[in-house]
Amino acid sequence: MCKYRVQAYDPFGFKKLKDVWDKLYEGKDMTYFQSYDWYEIINSMIPLKGEVLYLVVSNGLQPILIAPLWILRRTFGFINKKGCYFFGRGGYTDYLNFIYKSFDPLALDAIFVYVRTNYGISRYFLECMPEYSASYQYIVRTKTVVKIHQSICVKLALPDSSSQYENMLSKHVRQNLRTAKNRCQKSGLVLTQTFYKETTDRLLIDNCKMIREMRLDLKTSRAKKQMSLMQKCRNNVERILKYQFPVYHVLDVHTQGWLLTITCQDELCAFFHGGYDMFRNSLVVMCAGVNPKFARYSPGLLSMYNQIKIFLEEQHLDSIDFTRGNEKYKYDLGGKDEYIYHVPVSYTHLTLPT
């Protein structure tokens, strides 16, 4: 059997990995957030704390796994624990994983050995790992896992036709769609829907950001009203002590992403933004927003519903991944729960079969 060899690249050497990365990304466990193009974006926003490494494992001459990692050599601020994390956490990356075409357990063990030997670290905090991935299944089956935390993602598997899609929706949702259309007619509103494969229109992007912030402020205000005093205090302390990664807005940095807008007389009513995963033929939703002024007309639900029907008529899309969060509109549109897991792992072995 060939020896497993690990080679480390820092963020300045990232571009050297493109050819290898693109080949490994074809694996069925990968998502849009494991693509080279996505990491090229976040590679320009390196944290000031810790170290970012791209570890490439080869079996003989063949690269078989890439590990994008953020390593903290020591605990700071009490809650930022010494350990090894996925690079990409703390931002818009909804799924985190190692990069591989076909999962090799020994390649992952080689990563653990390398980090333990070179950094003295045996604790991993592996967040947002898809439940279906072979890497997650291997870790929870064979390693010492402390406590797993589960999060919900929502994904819509598209049927073959518009009629089949209509039948997927509940009677209640179909009625809500009719009600929204009737409200628009009664109010004399004409909604215009546009799908951009890419856009660099600065004014449009800024308008999207503005209504998203309005929506987030409203959600935050509602959440705070439901919190106990103890929870508010805990959140404030955590906000002060928790390391803050470089701030970016996906609408600013993700310039190759698609954008779906719905407007009324040039005023933005709602939008969706995300990426397209060509290998899995899937649309990924990264952020969305609704202008409160038009909320009673359900412009977001209407626009995505109409766009899904267009996709089905063109027959070129297999799924829409609404990613993290269990917002109601995702289920109204036919989405189903999938799960990601945050996995604290303790790894102390220092030997690897060769």
How far apart are the C-alpha atoms of 90 and 125, rounded to whole Å? 13
Can you tell me the mean pLDDT for 288-306? 95
Residue 187 phi, psi dihedral angles, 5° rounding: -90, 0
| pLDDT-derived band at 267, boundaries 50, 70, 90 | very high
pLDDT score of 218 more than 80: no
Chain centroid, CA 311 distance in Å: 22
Tokens standing for residue 324: 């993290």
Q: Alpha-carbon distance 93 to 286, whole Å?
A: 9
Please give the average per-residue pLDDT across 174-193, as a whole number. 95
Concatenating the DSSP letter of every residue in 30-92 gives --GGGSHHHHHHHTTS--SSSEEEEEEEEETTEEEEEEEEEEESS-BTTTB-SEEEETTTTTT
Q: What is the DSSP letter of 275?
A: E
Q: What is the mean pLDDT of residues 104-112?
A: 96
Query: What average pLDDT does range 267-283 have in this prediction?
Result: 95
What confidence tier does 170 reach under pLDDT thresholds 50, 70, 90? very high
**pLDDT at residue 247 in the model:** 86
Predicted local confidence at residue 2, as pLDDT:
57
> Pseudo-torsion of CA 99, 158, 327, 213, nearest 10°?
70
Q: Are 271 and 259 in contact (CB under 8 A)?
A: yes
Specify the pTM.
0.92
pLDDT at 234: 80
Q: Which two tokens stand for residue 24?
A: 């490994």
Check residue 1 and give its pLDDT. 44
Burial grade of 89 (CB within 10 A; 0-12, 13-18, 19 or more): middle
Would you give the end-to-end CA distance of the chain in angstroms?
6
- Residue 342 tokens read as 């945050």
Phi, psi at residue 266, to the nearest 5°? 70, 5
DSSP 8-state assignment for residue 243: P
Q: How far is residue 171's CA from residue 160's CA, in Å, rounded to a whole number?
A: 20
**Separation between Cα atoms, residue 203 and residue 240, nearest integer Å:** 34
Residue the block writes with tokens 């969305």: 288
pLDDT band at 112 (very low <50, low <70, confident <90, very high): very high
If DSSP states are collapsed to H, E and C, what string results for 167-181? HHCCHHHHHHHHHHH
- Burial classification of residue 60, based on how many CB atoms lie within 10 Å of its CB (0-12 exposed, 13-18 middle, 19 or more buried): exposed
Helix ranges (H only) for the chain are 18-24, 36-42, 105-119, 134-142, 162-168, 171-186, 202-226, 229-241, 250-253, 299-314, 328-332
CA nearest 334: which of 195, 175, 167? 167
Q: What is the mean pLDDT of residues 272-296?
A: 94
Q: What angle do CA 302, 212, 39 make, to 5 degrees?
A: 100
- Residue pLDDT, tens place only, 31-90: 999 999 999 999 999 999 999 999 999 998 899 999 999 999 999 988 899 999 999 999
**Model pLDDT for residues 298-343, shown as the tens digit of each residue:** 999 999 999 999 999 987 799 999 999 999 999 999 999 999 999 9
The answer to whether residue 350 scores a pLDDT higher than 70 is: no
